[in-house]
Structure 1
Amino acid sequence: MALMRASLGRREVFFRKSDGSVLSGPLHSYWRQDTRRCSPVLKTTDLRSAYKQFAIRPEHHRMCVVTLKDPADGLTKGFICRVLPFGALASVGQFNRFSRLWQRILWELKLAAASYFDDFPSVEVRALAENHDSSVKAALRLFGVDWASDKDLPFSQTADVLGVRLDATDTEGGVLRVKNKPERSKEIASSIDKILADGCIDPKQIPSLFGRIQFSESQLMGRQGRLALAQIRWLSSARHRHVLSSLDATVFRSLRERMLEGRPRELQALPVGGLTLVFTDGACDKLGDKFSCSIGGVMYRVLPTGSYETRAFGCYLDESIVEQWAGLGKRHLIGPTELFAVVAARHVWKDFLNDQRVVFYVDHSGVLSAMIKGSSRDDLWRSILLHYECADSLGPAISWFARVPSKSNPSDGPSRSDWRFPVLGEYFEDRIVCFISGRVLKVTGQRVQG
């Protein structure tokens, strides 16, 4: 791993020892002469009939008997399992003991490898790939473990691992891309197409569909598709066919788009950018029979150079949108207003947040919960969250959401026409274009410079 980082960076090997001291030096000329030698390659070693390679203790055979009725004579007969039975809950836990042991053995051989049941993904530099593969095979033979040679592929810069495809071809940019396997994506998209064509979803379809989608989404950890997943999870307890609303159809189409055309998740091998903190807030006051809603946002960035930058916005929500929300019969609109502020910040600052690590701070518990889950049972909130999914799909941010006390929230001021808040480094004010109506929103004021 140090060689890969060195080849991408300043051609120096850098280690921080356990006592805090640093060990560093120039990259050896062998690696500098041809940087392709340091390029990462991947593969997965799969065991053959993994459970059948592990016997059950003879004294435990009596606890591993499968009984079936013989169709020939109608008699019930017992079949003794002498190896770990596939599908048994205990088999998973017991086999994972070996799986984790094997991972540790590979680590002791100084090989970069992981374990996932009977699959063992590995990464290596191209120049050492053959040695890595030979070491793994020698260890397997030594322990008497058989691998699936018919599925065994050589190290490559692209590899299918655990249902996803890893792409390490962009060595210059130091980017690892992760996406679902094409056949899995097409299979899920076909099931969604059928739901959309029928205009309803049958609870009997949900377990298999939800399992496949959840596995695929968990591999990529993206935001797009969260609303559809939450809807499917909620419908799994329904007893009758559910007719899709227009919002339901939209979120399912978003999930389908994610499966077929979604941008691969990009993981940076080298640190990029600096620290980004985003604070948002909303204000809602009732003026007679109407509501006046406004939002504010403040972003603090620590740039790669170490300098600081502050950006802010404050504006009133479009009156037509506020009236539409009020027409839904809600007694107060502070919840959707604060949620709108988070989504507005994601839209207006997309150039700074796409593919970056960012911490969002909000002071509304309901909004915090909705952003963490990526969904809500309220249709209005779900419609706003859908716009966050759309913004995030263009360049998924690695987001963390946390609560900040209202008195410590610097964006509270801009949301209430008070632009006195802490500024670090250069300062910029941004105008918000409503992501629903497309109109430029009226500002609550501006900061007095000097």
Structure 2
Amino acid sequence: MLYVFELAWGVPHEPEKFVQEAVTAGHPSQYESFLPKILHQALEAHKALSDAELVKLRLKWVKKWTERSQTLELRASERDLKASLPQHAKTILKDKKIALWKEMLEDLQYEDMGVVDELVEGTKLLGEVPLTNVFPQHFKPAEFSVEDAKQESQTLREVVLKKTRSSGDRDLDAEVFEKTIEEVSKGWLAGPMELSSLPEPSLIGRRFGLKQGPKTRLIDDLTVGGQNGTVQSNESPKPQGPDVIAAILIGLMKVLPGESVEGRAYDLKSAYKQLAICESDLWAAFVSCFNPKTKSPSIFQLKAVPFGATRAVYWFLRVVRSIWYIGVVGLKLPWSCFFDDFVVFSKQGMVKSTDAAVTALFRLIGWKFAEEGEKCQQFSSEVSALGIKVCLKDFSRGKVYFDNTEKRKQDLSDLIQETLKSKNVTQKEGQVLRGKLQFADSQVYGRLSKLCLAEVSKLCASGGKALDGQAEMALKRFLGFLSSGKPRVLSCHTDRPFFLFTDACFEPTSPFWACGLGGVLVNDQGILLEFFSCSLSDEEMKKLGSESKKSIIFEAELLALIVAMYRWSSVLKSASCVCYIDNNAVRDVAISGRARNAAGIHLLERLLQVEMRLGVNAWFCRVASESNIADYPSRNDLRLFNAVRQVEVKPLIRQILKGFG
């Protein structure tokens, strides 16, 4: 066996040079990085154009395509295209203006014109996902081939039919079956049918109901039926979640300073059901649903795209991305697309224009969206979508707030309390709980809640079991964070990070400077704003463990970081910050939120608490000691800081160490 070793050699930057390189690198998770280029260009149009010019641009675009849709030529193209479709697709796609949609995409030079061909052909359920080059590359292999699924189809069907049984809730069983029959009347399903009438080979998925608050969502599990196992992909489509919404709002605050902005979410109705399954994959598009009347499985054939098929997710995201693209490029809409939710923002005085533009686009290409009922929102200073609440009341003052919706908080609270009451969690239940906690946690600042989340993850990794003391305490803590955690605050300065450099020295034989702390605050222009330099007293060193340990350099380095966060809390509040540390152990503890010894645990709690209180988006990095500009003040060497303001931190150190020992 051949072993290859690679060594990298380099000369560390001088501290001043490293500071400039750090500023150039910036913050790794700046919101601007989540903003697609074309969306950035649309935001710039809001800065360059007056309200009247933007209204005129949108009216001209809508007029152009409305007139084009009414031409005899395009009507004939649409008629011929629909005539070529299979009968089930004609029913499902009858309202779609496919020819018009195609021309819009061509006119706007969309890079993925294959999306039109796949819509006409229909959504495949099996096999390799086509490469689109519009999503990030990520290879995910199939578990087995389509041919393997065909050969094992009889065994797979038997497994599914055995698993098709009552949920234990009579009302839920009745509702699921009733909704299934309704889908048959809409042309989304065919059946019920006898097992003997199915073609050979054929694959069957399992249909069941999932309670989501007062509503029930129908899930077609095509994993148990074998369909999803045949799917192979080379890309990972990413829906535009809260980070993209945040990036849009930060961008709008920059181009529309002092303006009032409102937002609205547009929800596509039965979104997946607006697309048809490819005729060649209908043999694998059967589902088994428990029939509460016969107390046995009933079999149906899917015609519209199911919620539960892996390839359906890839395909749906591909389609809605094309619609999003038209809105951004053609109508200059500052909007995002997360599956079937389109979230758009508008100046208060432009709300009618924005609403008219979105409505016109959906109607022109034949996509149904909620125009009444609870999912039909109006433009407002508070937008709810994806389980989050975006508050725009202070937009004109340069601030927006992200929080979990009250419904999400209540649902999660109920789920956690049920888990605590049962004292036992299966692996599947644990995975569901973890997923919901993760999404809710992302809207709450700080990482104290993430430590709780880690305990739930450990529970899942163990395969599910009775709650131990740590997991129970973690869930109880999360309940508290869910209700008291501060919303995420964003401003137009959020993407202008600060840089903290901290260091400590420990030389116990030195009579005047046995343990020194140093910290330097740098802005996004590379300017050294302030620094601190101090030595710990014997009493303070004792609190860090100097009497029982040979070295307290780890504790001192961690303390220096905490002191820096406390001292510069006024500028770090709701900001991004990159913390450069030359001690690997401190960096690792700051990232993981875990420490071993008593002093480390106590200090770490202080770090997490101040991080949560400030709402700071912190990133922790390693800097070589030779390049760390904070190394100088930690050793009382102030030669580089003649023109930099020194700040006092001794009272803060006493405050932080209060209760130690």
Q: Could you say which TM-score interval applies, normalised by the shorter chain?
A: 0.7 to 0.9
| Structure 2 residue matching 1:87: 3-state secondary structure | coil
Q: Within the alignment, does 1:66 sit opposite 2:287 as a pair?
A: yes
**Shift in Å at residue 145 of structure 1?**
1.1
Counterparts of 1:105-144 in structure 2, within 5 Å, are: 105-107=326-328, 108-144=330-366
**Shift in Å at residue 45 of structure 1?**
0.2
Q: Within the alignment, does 1:257 sit opposite 2:480 as a pair?
A: yes
**Native 8 Å contact 1:38 1:125 kept in 2:** yes
For residues 26 and 102 of structure 1, what CA distance do their matches in structure 2 show?
A: 23
**Native 8 Å contact 1:387 1:435 kept in 2:** no
**Native 8 Å contact 1:55 1:82 kept in 2:** yes
**Native 8 Å contact 1:214 1:229 kept in 2:** yes
Counterparts of 1:209-224 in structure 2, within 5 Å, are: 209-220=433-444, 222-224=446-448
For residues 348 and 277 of structure 1, what CA distance do their matches in structure 2 show?
A: 14
For residues 140 and 156 of structure 1, what CA distance do their matches in structure 2 show?
A: 21
Q: 1:296 aligns with which of 517, 539, 543?
A: 517
Letter of the structure 2 residue corresponding to residue 109 of structure 1: L
Q: Within the alignment, does 1:83 sit opposite 2:307 as a pair?
A: no
**Shift in Å at residue 258 of structure 1?**
2.8
**Shift in Å at residue 179 of structure 1?**
0.9
For residues 55 and 405 of structure 1, what CA distance do their matches in structure 2 show?
A: 58
**Native 8 Å contact 2:595 2:604 kept in 1:** no
- Quickly say closer, same or farther: Cα 1:27–1:70, change in 2 above 3 A: closer
- Quickly say closer, same or farther: Cα 1:434–1:195, change in 2 above 3 A: farther
**Shift in Å at residue 372 of structure 1?**
3.4
Q: Within the alignment, does 1:99 sit opposite 2:320 as a pair?
A: yes
- Quickly say closer, same or farther: Cα 1:295–1:190, change in 2 above 3 A: farther
Q: Considering only aligned residues, what root-mean-square deviation do their CA atoms show, in Å?
A: 4.1
Q: 1:322 aligns with which of 544, 567, 572?
A: 544
Q: Within the alignment, does 1:243 sit opposite 2:500 as a pair?
A: no
**Greater radius of gyration (CA):** 2
**Native 8 Å contact 1:277 1:359 kept in 2:** yes
**Shift in Å at residue 168 of structure 1?**
0.7
Letter of the structure 2 residue corresponding to residue 101 of structure 1: S
Q: 1:233 aligns with which of 445, 457, 477?
A: 457
**Shift in Å at residue 176 of structure 1?**
0.9
**Shift in Å at residue 55 of structure 1?**
0.6
Q: Within the alignment, does 1:186 sit opposite 2:422 as a pair?
A: no
- 1:207-241 C-alpha deviation (Å, 9 max, x unpaired): 23211110112345643412112222223223543
| Structure 2 residue matching 1:341: 3-state secondary structure | helix
| Structure 2 residue matching 1:122: 3-state secondary structure | strand
1:161 maps to what in 2? 385
Q: Within the alignment, does 1:282 sit opposite 2:504 as a pair?
A: yes
**Shift in Å at residue 81 of structure 1?**
1.3
Letter of the structure 2 residue corresponding to residue 173 of structure 1: R
1:56 maps to what in 2? 277
Q: Within the alignment, does 1:438 sit opposite 2:658 as a pair?
A: yes
- Quickly say closer, same or farther: Cα 1:325–1:84, change in 2 above 3 A: farther
**Shift in Å at residue 337 of structure 1?**
3.6
**Native 8 Å contact 2:494 2:576 kept in 1:** no
- Quickly say closer, same or farther: Cα 1:419–1:231, change in 2 above 3 A: farther
**Shift in Å at residue 413 of structure 1?**
3.6
**Native 8 Å contact 1:277 1:301 kept in 2:** yes
**Shift in Å at residue 132 of structure 1?**
1.2
For residues 194 and 324 of structure 1, what CA distance do their matches in structure 2 show?
A: 46
2:583 maps to what in 1? 364
For residues 332 and 469 of structure 2, what CA distance do their matches in structure 1 show?
A: 53
**Native 8 Å contact 1:223 1:396 kept in 2:** no
**Shift in Å at residue 268 of structure 1?**
0.9
- 1:4-28 C-alpha deviation (Å, 9 max, x unpaired): xxxxxxxxxxxxx99xxxx999988
**Shift in Å at residue 266 of structure 1?**
1.3
For residues 514 and 478 of structure 2, what CA distance do their matches in structure 1 show?
A: 31
**Native 8 Å contact 2:445 2:486 kept in 1:** no
Q: Within the alignment, does 1:389 sit opposite 2:608 as a pair?
A: yes
Which has the larger strand fraction? 1
For residues 255 and 299 of structure 1, what CA distance do their matches in structure 2 show?
A: 34
Letter of the structure 2 residue corresponding to residue 354 of structure 1: K
1:401 maps to what in 2? 620
Q: Within the alignment, does 1:145 sit opposite 2:145 as a pair?
A: no
Alignment size in residue pairs? 405
- 1:352-377 C-alpha deviation (Å, 9 max, x unpaired): 3212232211012233233334x237
**Native 8 Å contact 2:287 2:301 kept in 1:** yes
For residues 646 and 257 of structure 2, what CA distance do their matches in structure 1 show?
A: 43
Letter of the structure 2 residue corresponding to residue 152 of structure 1: C
| Structure 2 residue matching 1:145: 3-state secondary structure | coil
1:313 maps to what in 2? 533
**Native 8 Å contact 1:41 1:156 kept in 2:** yes
Letter of the structure 2 residue corresponding to residue 180 of structure 1: N
Letter of the structure 1 residue corresponding to residue 646 of structure 2: Y
For residues 431 and 383 of structure 2, what CA distance do their matches in structure 1 show?
A: 29
- Quickly say closer, same or farther: Cα 1:71–1:353, change in 2 above 3 A: closer
2:16 maps to what in 1? none
1:3 maps to what in 2? none
- Quickly say closer, same or farther: Cα 1:226–1:383, change in 2 above 3 A: farther
Indicate the larger mover: 47-56 or 278-287. Answer: 278-287
For residues 352 and 297 of structure 1, what CA distance do their matches in structure 2 show?
A: 18
Aligned-residue sequence identity (percent) comes to 24
State the TM-score, normalized to the length of structure 2. 0.53
**Native 8 Å contact 1:224 1:392 kept in 2:** no
For residues 301 and 125 of structure 1, what CA distance do their matches in structure 2 show?
A: 35
- Quickly say closer, same or farther: Cα 1:28–1:359, change in 2 above 3 A: same
Letter of the structure 2 residue corresponding to residue 164 of structure 1: I
For residues 371 and 335 of structure 1, what CA distance do their matches in structure 2 show?
A: 12
- 1:376-418 C-alpha deviation (Å, 9 max, x unpaired): 3747555533222211222211323222110121322443454
**Shift in Å at residue 440 of structure 1?**
11
